[in-house]
Structure 1
Amino acid sequence: MENRNTENLWDKAFENGENFVFYPYNSLVQFLNRYISKQTSFGKFQVIYQSKSPCNSTPLRALDFGCGTGRQTLLLSEFGIESYGIDISGSAIALAKDLSEQLNLKANFQNSSSEILPFSDEFFDFTISCGAVLNCMPQSLAKHFLNQIARVTKKYCFLMLLGKTATPPHYNLNQDSLQFSPISYFSTLENIYDLVSQTPFKIIFLQESKETNHINNHCATYWNLILEK
């Protein structure tokens, strides 16, 4: 029942035009260029990561966990990666499919509220999860899903997490300004290490960044992680 309520709240937020991401995250672009495939010119890439597939011509395959409207999934497609996006919100998936058509990029989008990812073991070469998806659920569920990600992933996982912020995100659900606050917990160095220690992953990159608006004193902390099996 809790999953159904959460799904409905996300559906209403996306239907109200909230949480749209129109451009790729720069930190994701940096991860792809450093660990997966370096862009050398327009439409040209030098592959860095070698797939375990016995057929070298097989394209890399990647999952975007909590893909939302799909902009980061479609960035993977721009890199020539066979990309999959999964999200709890059917409304977000519908928008992602529309965006795929508008950008003329192919991706596989799927709506799912199951706590078991619907993919076989090591189906993906790597997984990404941007926009603090794991912060939008209880920590125990975040640990469960990170283990699910590890199960379906061969090597890398790129994560973006939200640290302490003065004003957590709120999304309007209707024209009467009924709001939805999705953040369940904030990431800290301690709970990040605890989260990862209970999975097959190890941390190979951990970046903390803090932003301060000195006009209104708004402060926010963000974490970028690269995990490896």
Structure 2
Amino acid sequence: MDWEKMYETGEFAHWDFVAPSSELVATIAVLGLPQPGEVALDIGCGAGREAIFLSQCGYRTIGVDMTAKALEIARERAREAGVSVDFRQGNALDLPIEDESVDFVNDRGCFHLIPEADRSRYASEVLRVMKSGARFLLRGCRDANAVPKAVEEHDVHFEPITEDVVQHFFPTEYFVHGPVLPLQLIGNQKALPGNVVLLRKK
């Protein structure tokens, strides 16, 4: 997919949304607001809605995305919201983040775009940047055959997030697992059947 073009033309609207996702809001409601100085990382932050929400909650927030136009939109949204977010252009497989510096990691729809051959590298990067005790909220599609037509047209392949996948790439040697639960990943145009799990680094 030509991500720059998708953000330039506004075609990203089918996965964009006007408010932070209900699952992220619920997670913060349960975990509580951060302690002063705690850092949140939004991987594949796109146009910045959830990174902005995390900043509004009190996190020092870093949003990483590979698409320059997405980050341009995200910075403007943060300015309009009156919050400070450290948006950085980078790859989820080589995060521009210091080791063991993050208290909360958010991924809404990035990991399910990572090819199977690269998923171990993604998981290693997440493990590397998380502090001991840090939480990781992971969501993505649960059925590769349920890709919206608007995405299929751009030759995008989704890799599902299932309990087996979570066990394999985020093993209990390093993570405490919450349950893998079904949800609908809500966008502005169509919901995508997904799964959600909250992990904690040991």
Sort the TM-score into its range (normalised by shorter chain): 0.7 to 0.9
Change (3 A) 1:210 1:98: closer
Mapped to 1, the partners of 2:129 and 2:165 lie a distance apart of 23
Mapped to 1, the partners of 2:173 and 2:200 lie a distance apart of 10
In the TM superposition, 1:8-27 aligns within 5 A as 9-19=2-12, 20-27=16-23
Given that 2:63 and 2:88 are in contact with CA atoms closer than 8 Å, whether structure 1 keeps it comes out as yes
Mapped to 1, the partners of 2:69 and 2:119 lie a distance apart of 22
**Aligned counterpart, 1:228:** 200
Mapped to 1, the partners of 2:172 and 2:115 lie a distance apart of 15
In the TM superposition, 1:160-175 aligns within 5 A as 160-164=139-143, 167-171=146-150
Deviation at 1:87, TM superposition (A): 0.4
Which structure shows the bigger proportion of residues in helix conformation? 2
Which structure shows the bigger proportion of residues in strand conformation? 1
Q: Deviations over 1:29-88 (max 9, x none)?
A: 011111242xxxxxxxxx5xx5xxxxxxx4211100000000000000110111010001
Letter paired with 1:100 = A
- Is structure 2 residue 184 aligned with structure 1 residue 184? no
Deviation at 1:210, TM superposition (A): 6.4
Structure number, greater radius of gyration: 1
**Aligned counterpart, 1:149:** 126
- Is structure 2 residue 90 aligned with structure 1 residue 112? yes
**Percentage of identical aligned residues:** 21
**Aligned counterpart, 1:31:** 27
Given that 2:43 and 2:92 are in contact with CA atoms closer than 8 Å, whether structure 1 keeps it comes out as no
Deviation at 1:188, TM superposition (A): 2.8
Mapped to 2, the partners of 1:83 and 1:219 lie a distance apart of 27
| Cα RMSD for the two superposed structures | 2.6
Deviation at 1:164, TM superposition (A): 1.1
**Aligned counterpart, 2:110:** 133
Which runs of no fewer than 5 residues in structure 2 stay unpaired? none
Which runs of no fewer than 5 residues in structure 1 stay unpaired? 1-5, 38-46, 51-57, 173-177, 212-217
Work out which of the residue numbers 38, 41, 48 in structure 2 matches 1:63: 41
Work out which of the residue numbers 60, 83, 88 in structure 2 matches 1:82: 60
- The normalised TM-score by structure 1 is 0.75
**Structure 2 SS opposite 1:95:** helix
Mapped to 2, the partners of 1:219 and 1:95 lie a distance apart of 23
**Structure 2 SS opposite 1:197:** coil
Mapped to 2, the partners of 1:86 and 1:166 lie a distance apart of 28
